[in-house]
Amino acid sequence: MHSATLSSKFQICIPKELRQELHIKAGQTFIFIPHGNSIQLVPDRDMKDIRGMMTGASTGNIRDRQDRQ
């Protein structure tokens, strides 16, 4: 598990091991998604980079609102 400290300017440095493992580059943008008391940090990707990512995904068993109750 990795940790980082929030600076007085509200900045966090991503540990080097994670940057290398996830191929994070300087200048890359991220989306912050709040989840209760935590934050999910997701790389913002261009649509051309994710094209074809879901090729072959099954759409046969999709739940609708009635299934969620």
CB atoms within 10 A of CB 43: 13
Q: What is the pTM of this model?
A: 0.56
Read off the pLDDT of residues 7-64 as tens digits, 9 standing for 90 and up.
Answer: 999 999 999 999 999 888 999 999 999 999 999 998 887 767 666 766 777 777 777 6
Question: pLDDT at position 6, please?
Answer: 93
Half-sphere exposure of 64 (CA within 13 A, CB side): 2
What's the rounded mean pLDDT across residues 1-10? Answer: 92
The CATH class that applies to domain 1-46 reads mainly beta
Question: pLDDT at position 44, please?
Answer: 85
Does the pLDDT of residue 3 top 70, yes or no? yes
CA separation for the pair 46, 51 (Å, rounded)? 9
Domain ranges across the chain:
1-46
DSSP string, 7-62: -TTS--PPPHHHHHHHT--TT--EEEEEETTEEEEEE---HHHHTTTTTT---TT-
